Amino acid sequence: MIIIRFIWIRPCEEDLALAITYLRIVSHEYSLRKEYRFNQVQLGMTKYFQRYN
């Protein structure tokens, strides 16, 4: 939110590139975390089914 406001105040190309890179990194980390959690859930489910079959 702060970065976007900062861009509107002073829309330099460098600031824009920095903000885009920052957003890309954050969204990438978020997707990685989501994927990791999903893998953990899958792992737990397979272990659970192996135990009870």
Which H or E element spans position 18? Answer: helix 13-51
Helix/strand/coil for 11: coil
Question: Phi first, then psi: what are they for 11, rounded to 5°?
Answer: -80, 70
Q: Give the model confidence (pLDDT) of 26-48 as tens digits.
A: 888 888 888 777 788 878 878 77
Structural domain boundaries in the chain: 2-51
Taking residue 14's Cβ as centre, other Cβ atoms within 10 Å add up to 8
Among 3-7, 17-21, 34-38, the minimum mean pLDDT is found in 3-7
**What's the mean per-residue pLDDT of the chain?**
73
**pTM > 0.75:** no
pLDDT at 4 over 80: no
Q: What pLDDT sits at residue 14?
A: 73
Residues 6+ apart with CB under 8 A from 18: 3
pLDDT at 1 over 50: no
**What single DSSP character describes residue 10?**
S
